[in-house]
Amino acid sequence: MPLRFVRVQVLVFALLWMVANAIAQGNPDRAYGRSMVVTQYGIVATSYVQASQAGARILEQGGSAIDAGIAANAVLGVAEPMMNGIGGDLFAIYWDAKTGKLYGLNASGWAPRGLTMEHLRSKGITQMPEFGIDTVTVPGAVDGWAKLHGRFGKLPWAQLFAPAIFHARTGYPVPEMIHGYWLSAAARLAADPESQRLYLPNGKAPELGQIFRNPELADTLSLIANQGRDAFYKGPIAQSILKTSAAFGGTMTAEDLGEFSADWVEPISTTYRDWKVYEIPPNGDGLAALEMLNIMEQSPPAPAGPLSTAELHNRIEAMKLAYADIKAFDGDPRFSTIPVPELLSKSFAAKRAKLIDPAHANCTVAPGALSGSDTTYLSVIDREGDILSLIQSNYDLFGSQITVRGRGFALQNRGALFSLDPQSPNALAGRKRPFHTIIPGFMERGTEHIGFGIMGGMNQPLAHAQFVSNVVDYHMNIQAALEEARFTVSGKLGCNIVIESRVPADTLHELGAMGHVLEVRKQYSTAMGRGQAVLDNAETKIHYGASDPRADGAAEAEGPPKP
């Protein structure tokens, strides 16, 4: 080979190496997939792209974060009917940037007055049913929307429902993840002819990309838009709910619906390292997320990272301790004294943390000694920096699996979470709110404020704690913190844990050797919940949005003001 040719080859190789090195330096690797949405205007982050777009358009029309959240939530009820809708409940945390005040709203409905343990015993029921009319509690979502809009809304109420009415009437192509959920719920829907007729066109779940229309829900939303919340609780929709309940032998009365009202509540909080984290107080289980963080805080973060054996073991064991306490002590504070201050005390967390064996999993965890599913979540930030953290749910897929005749929506089965143990703080009683799994989250440090949430039944507190730790301990941005591989609780309980396969194989092996029984799911499992988050930096006036790749959604930025 001629020497000149060899020199040319060497020169070409050197040039290619220099170009590749320059590209590598200018395009750094990262451990997460999506970028955050970054803007000086508003952002709406939901699990369905068109819902995010609807909320963003409301912001562009001059709406508040509350207005955008209601519009987006209404669209989600159309597009994710198995997850949420006007037949379900709602909780919200709202950050008012101008006043620096945080507000909480509990819009979870109570049991009908006649839904009691005595009533169930008269029917031969000895265990709280999972589905059916005796799991139906008063839906709180519509009154929650009304309370939020009455206090913080800017645009006319009726304007907020136009996107949802449009999608319900003209139809929408069923997206990927929602198609999967629909398929998994199809067999259950066959028990109710109305549910089967509405949600199983041609006798089966809609295909991926198939247009699904719900004109009856469009008419129902139009009534709410034009007549307000009373159309739902006292008007024609209420009458349809009562007729449906009576047809199934239910106990719901006009008074149960008409006398219901959502409550403004003071968020509860704890400090985790140098951040303050907030949740809604009981009857929700945000208390579990805060206690889990308090227990985790007793140990420094593992230097090897969030997916290391030491870190995951500590998180898993902290979760077990917190969940044991919540099961024993949580309920409706109007009926029982819930020991929130003691459960959130650092001294109680220190006692609980001493029970964690750093080398072995604990398969039987008892509650501490005191001295005394399925859901949708969205987060919104408007251009002023106000933040809405909102969660809304039917509980299980299509809730009770009972659809209100002629109205296009399913009733929730939140009452399934009541206990029939008279000694439980969550014992079934008329006009009592059940223990709730759905929780919106909020955290702040200095000029940074984050609205966040991650759905999925009892997954939620532990997912909140993992997200917070990812941000605080491992300095991730909100998108990376959402995307990071997670674990979640297993229905088998004990030492059984569900975990994503992105956790390193060595870590999975070491956790198994410690006694954890791991069910390894795919890289981005919906079992870990579907999260959203927004961040406001009050100093720079820049806003950030994130949306979980485990869902069909996106964080959508508001467009700039029109000239």
- Give the active site residues: 375
Number of H helices, E strands in the chain: 19, 21
For residue 192, how far is the Cα from the chain centroid? Answer: 27
Strands (E), 221-329: 263-265, 268-272, 275-279
Contacts of 396 (CB under 8 A, 6+ apart): 130, 131, 373, 374, 413, 416
DSSP state of 427: B
Q: Is 164 exposed, middle or buried (0-12, 13-18, 19+ CB in 10 A)?
A: buried
Helix (H) or strand (E) holding 517: strand 517-521
Instruction: Say how far apart CA 40 and CA 219 lie, in whole Å.
Output: 37
Structure tokens at 220: 């129902």
| DSSP-derived secondary structure for 137-157 | ----HHHHHHHHHHHH--S-G
Contact of 488 with 530, CB cutoff 8 Å: no
SS3 64: coil
Around Cβ 187, how many Cβ atoms within 10 Å?
10
Burial of 392 (0-12, 13-18, 19+ CB in 10 A): buried
Residues 6+ apart with CB under 8 A from 9: none
Tokens of 130: 């999972």
Give the C-alpha separation, 252 to 255, whole Å: 8
Q: Report whether 137 contacts 414 (CB < 8 A).
A: yes
CA–CA distance, 140 with 262 (Å, rounded to integer): 7
Beta bridge partners of 544: 38, 535
Q: What's the N-to-C CA distance of the chain in angstroms?
A: 68
Residues across the chain: 563
Residue type, 73: N
| Residue 254 burial (CB count, 10 A) | 13
Say if strands 517-521 and 496-500 run parallel, antiparallel, or are unpaired: parallel
465 burial type by CB count under 10 A (0-12 exposed, 13-18 middle, 19+ buried): buried
**Of 494, 563, 560, nearest to 40 (Cα)?**
560
